[in-house]
Amino acid sequence: MRAERLRALAGSFSRTVRVAGFVSRRAITRGNRGVALLTTLMMAAIFAEILFIPALIQGATDHIETVLRENVTGDVTVTPGEGEQAIADAEGLLALARGTSGVTAATATALAGSQVSAGNRAGSWSVLAVDPESYAQTFATPEEMIEGEFLEPGDTDEIVLGLGIAGADREDTVTFPASLQTVHVGDEVQVGLVGGQTHTFTVRGIYDTGLSQANLRAFVPAATAERLVPALAGQATAVFVNVAVLGGEDAVIASLESTRPDLTYEPWQSLTTTIEDLTGSFDTIRSILNAVSMLVAAIAVFIVTYVDLVSRRRTIGIERAIGIGGGAIVLSYVVKAVVFAVVGVVAGGLAFVFVAVPIVDAHPFPFPIGPVTLSVTAEEMRRGAVVLVAVSALGALAPAWRAVRARILDAIWG
């Protein structure tokens, strides 16, 4: 008995699906083509908008990560072991790193000072002693100069300042109220060194990475720092290593750690957690806008389906009178909505990938953090497509279900 009931239910469901497929196919092929086109274009526009916000946020996140990696962290950062203040035999570690397979460049920095002043203004910023040649090979900061030049081998009492320190009379910057404000190339600044003495340096250059967190450091030649503070000789606060291919950080770390296990090794991914504060609000905005887009899609499908049902109310009554079940009619409208949504998703996805992305690549958005392009993942596209199709199906289900609950005679008489 139970098996027969299950077979009967399966047969009934199969007939409902076949009838729904027939009805929806006839409705699509013989329906109003203008309405079908507009519905599809609307779905395409909504899907493109759903992709745009996450892609823009991901593009901003990628840009911030790139700036931090190319100017602050490198691909691998090596710091003193627990309880230690400096890396001993920094030159030996640099030689080891440069001889490691997959490493393209390495440089060391040492904290030479922590205070910079000019005139009646002063502030606490990291003053790093660097080798100009190896630093330029490892980091992009020397390419970000907005005034003057970066340090060169042979420089003595010169210093390079970030825009967040110099200020440089830049009225368009909003994050530098604590800077020296009016310092330019050629001006003199006083640096409080770690040994306790103060030394005067001449500003050789000012850089701007586009990211405020990366603009709050100063650089002096390592030879000068070691002359002024002999204790810095042969030591480093950190060593930065670049790898040939991103993703090869773990192999390089394993190789270095096997020889120098007394140090701390961190890939760049673990050092960019500061961007979570910057992107947290972006994620909230994305969630809100995506929810609004989905609501708009559901309402739009609801309205289109409702108008179609009102105009075909008598036809639906006749269909039910000749034996077409209400379930088949409801399912036919759901299928039609899903078809429009799928076609819209394909059209919107193609337009986004092959039109919007290339245009923004050629003309990036001028964000305060720098030029931002669109970055979209296949996973993001799949998730957006599935959600939009599901929302469209639900948007069509509600009015169709309500329509088939009306009495057949009322529907036929209108």
The one-character DSSP state at 310 is H
Question: CB neighbours (10 Å) of residue 398?
Answer: 15
> In tens digits, what is the pLDDT along the chain, a chain of 414 residues?
555 565 545 455 455 556 555 555 655 565 567 767 887 888 888 888 888 888 888 888 888 888 889 999 899 999 998 888 899 889 999 999 999 999 999 999 999 999 999 988 999 999 999 999 999 999 999 999 999 999 999 999 999 999 999 988 876 544 456 789 889 999 999 999 998 899 999 999 999 998 887 899 999 999 999 999 998 988 899 999 999 988 889 999 999 999 999 999 999 888 666 566 656 666 777 778 777 777 777 777 777 766 666 656 565 555 556 555 656 667 777 778 888 888 889 999 999 999 999 999 998 888 777 788 888 888 888 888 888 888 888 877 777 776 666 555 444 455
Two tokens at 34?
């203008």
- 3 to each of 10, 13, 15, 16, how far by Cα in Å? 10, 15, 18, 20
Give CA–CA dist 356/236, Å, rounded: 46
Residue 187 burial (C-beta neighbours within 10 Å; 0-12, 13-18, 19+):
middle
Report the candidate in 220, 235, 221 with the shortest Cα–Cα distance to residue 162: 220
Per DSSP, the three-state class of 216 is coil
**Residue 138: closest CA among 266, 20, 238:** 238
**Token pair of 343, please?**
């076609």
Nearest to 268 by CA among 127, 113, 89, 62: 62
Q: Dump strand ranges (E) for 62-135.
A: 76-79, 103-118, 121-130
**Dihedral over Cα of 144, 146, 152, 158: its sign:** negative
Contact, 16 vs 331, CB < 8 A? Answer: yes
∠ CA 117-118-120, rounded to 5°: 95
For residue 305, the number of C-alpha atoms closer than 13 Å in the C-beta half-sphere is 32
Distance (Å, whole) CA 136 – CA 144? 11
DSSP state of 175: S
Q: Return the DSSP state at 371.
A: E
Parallel/antiparallel/unpaired status of strands 121-130 and 217-221: parallel
Angstrom CA distances, 290 to 270, 293, 387, stand at 29, 5, 10
* The predicted structure's pLDDT at residue 411: 46
The answer to whether the predicted template modeling score (pTM) of the entire model surpasses 0.85 is no
